[in-house]
């Protein structure tokens, strides 16, 4: 008899879920991204006990009818990708069809949704199995209610941080997404307490809502292009660099990312202005499709650049260019 055997669907789903949903903040990230993909102009997030007990994300996006509700929690089901060519022209956050399935596999998930056409319904999935289906009326949009995350994966649960640390990871996700979408209204509550409100507006006012209006006021606008790499955003002037360590935001095509090369470029550019320099930087990168790969791993926020050295240089130049422009704007005009 063969020793090798095919794993059961239940085990396959749990393993896959563990890869996509590492912690409450990953669920929040996926649900907010889905709301954005659904065209929402308002996203409300509410959590309890660092997201371990409850995560609720409500949007006013296009919603799902009964037929879509029956499919959305299954693995590899998506409305965002049809053929392999689409992979290279993606304009949505998601496309793998794994997030909802992963959350559903490791929690009690209640999805309530309604479309513009008035189709609506509710489905409750626990540990990947449908436990209830209701034919209810709802207003347009979708609510995902995630309860008891990791209830059936106790080891994962023990590896979570304290409530405070899970909360701060979730806040980080909310703020990053809010900064990359100043046109969307965001409301974020921990229990009954409102932690963040983002009113639709310009990028600078959204940054002010996220990190404080005093710091945001002094930021310098960045707008620089070199060798096809486009850098925009706002950064601290060299004179005011007392931000917090976590006040460095980086986005690639409007998606929050992390990249060591870019972080290094930022710290090197500020180095001459003091060793204790902690600038606020909000940088948006863009470059031609073939120059980057963002789809390295669903749970990671890494991006791979075809030419990392070039990106490093352009970001350095973009920051220096911004300082120079600021200096020119403030130097007295000498009439010779």
Closest CA to 20 of 83, 75, 87: 75
- Kindly tell me which residue out of 79, 254, 267, 307 binds ligand ADP, with binding defined by CB under 6 A: 79
Rounded Cα distance between 193 and 209, Å, is 16
Nearer to ligand ADP by C-beta: 140 or 325? 140
Closest CA to 173 of 196, 154, 148: 196
Q: Smallest distance, Å, CB 222 to ligand ADP?
A: 31
Task: Tell me if 78 contacts ligand ADP by CB under 6 A.
Answer: yes
Nearer to ligand ADP by C-beta: 38 or 160? 38
Rounded Cα distance between 329 and 333, Å, is 9
Please name every residue paired with 251 in a beta bridge, in sequence order, or none if there are none. Answer: 256, 284
Task: Tell me if 80 contacts ligand ADP by CB under 6 A.
Answer: yes
Task: Tell me if 65 contacts ligand ADP by CB under 6 A.
Answer: no
Nearer to ligand ADP by C-beta: 97 or 200? 97
281 binds, among ligand ADP, Mg ion, none (CB under 5 to 8 A by kind): none
Task: Tell me if 99 contacts Mg ion by CB under 5 A.
Answer: yes
Tell the burial category of 77 from Cβ atoms under 10 Å away from its Cβ (0-12, 13-18, 19+): middle
Q: Smallest distance, Å, CB 25 to Mg ion?
A: 15
Size of the site for ligand ADP (CB under 6 A): 24
- Kindly tell me which residue out of 59, 166, 207, 216 binds ligand ADP, with binding defined by CB under 6 A: 59
Q: What is the DSSP code (8-state) at residue 153?
A: -
Rounded Cα distance between 27 and 57, Å, is 10
Q: Which of residues 135-164 bind ligand ADP (CB under 6 A)?
A: 142
Q: What's the half-sphere exposure (Cβ side, CA atoms, 13 Å) at 178?
A: 30
Task: Tell me if 41 contacts ligand ADP by CB under 6 A.
Answer: no
Q: Of the ranges 33-41, 120-128, 154-162, 269-277, which one interacts with ligand ADP (CB under 6 A)?
A: 33-41
Task: Tell me if 94 contacts Mg ion by CB under 5 A.
Answer: yes
Q: Which of residues 33-62 bind Mg ion (CB under 5 A)?
A: 34
303: left (phi over 0), alpha (psi -120 to 50) or beta: beta
| Angle formed by the axes of helices 163-180 and 203-211, nearest 10° | 170
Contacting positions for ligand ADP (CB under 6 A): 30, 34-35, 37-38, 59, 61-64, 72, 77-80, 94-101, 142
């Amino acid at each position: 008899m063969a020793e090798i055997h095919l794993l059961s669907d239940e085990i396959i789903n749990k393993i896959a879920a563990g890869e996509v949903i590492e912690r409450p903040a990953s669920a929040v990230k996926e649900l907010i991204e889905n709301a954005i993909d659904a065209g929402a102009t308002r996203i409300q997030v509410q959590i309890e006990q660092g997201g371990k007990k409850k995560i609720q994300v409500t949007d006013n996006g296009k919603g799902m009818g009964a037929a879509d509700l029956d499919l959305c929690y299954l693995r590899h089901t998506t409305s965002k990708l049809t053929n392999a060519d689409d992979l290279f022209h993606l304009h949505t956050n998601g496309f793998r069809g794994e997030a909802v399935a992963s959350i559903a596999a490791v929690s009690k998930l209640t999805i309530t949704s309604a479309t513009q056409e008035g189709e609506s319904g509710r489905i409750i999935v626990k540990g990947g199995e449908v436990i209830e289906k209701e034919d209810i009326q709802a207003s347009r949009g979708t609510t995902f209610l995630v309860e008891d995350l990791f209830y059936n994966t106790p080891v994962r649960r023990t590896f979570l941080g304290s409530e405070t640390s899970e909360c701060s990871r979730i806040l980080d996700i909310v703020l990053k997404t809010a900064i990359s979408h100043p046109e969307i209204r965001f409301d974020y509550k921990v229990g009954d307490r409102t932690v963040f409100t983002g009113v639709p507006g310009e990028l600078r006012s959204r940054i002010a809502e996220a990190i404080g209006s005093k710091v945001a006021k002094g930021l310098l606008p960045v707008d620089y292009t070199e060798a096809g790499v486009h850098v925009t955003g706002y950064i601290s002037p060299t004179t005011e660099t007392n931000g917090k360590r976590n006040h460095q935001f980086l986005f690639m095509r409007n998606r929050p990312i992390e990249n060591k090369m870019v972080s290094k470029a930022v710290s090197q550019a500020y180095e001459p202005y003091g060793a204790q320099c902690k600038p606020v930087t909000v940088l948006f990168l863009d470059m031609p499709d073939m120059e980057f790969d963002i789809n390295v791993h669903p749970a990671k926020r890494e991006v791979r650049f075809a030419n990392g050295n070039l990106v490093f240089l352009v970001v350095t130049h973009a920051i220096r260019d911004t300082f120079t422009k600021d200096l020119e704007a403030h130097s007295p005009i000498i009439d010779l």
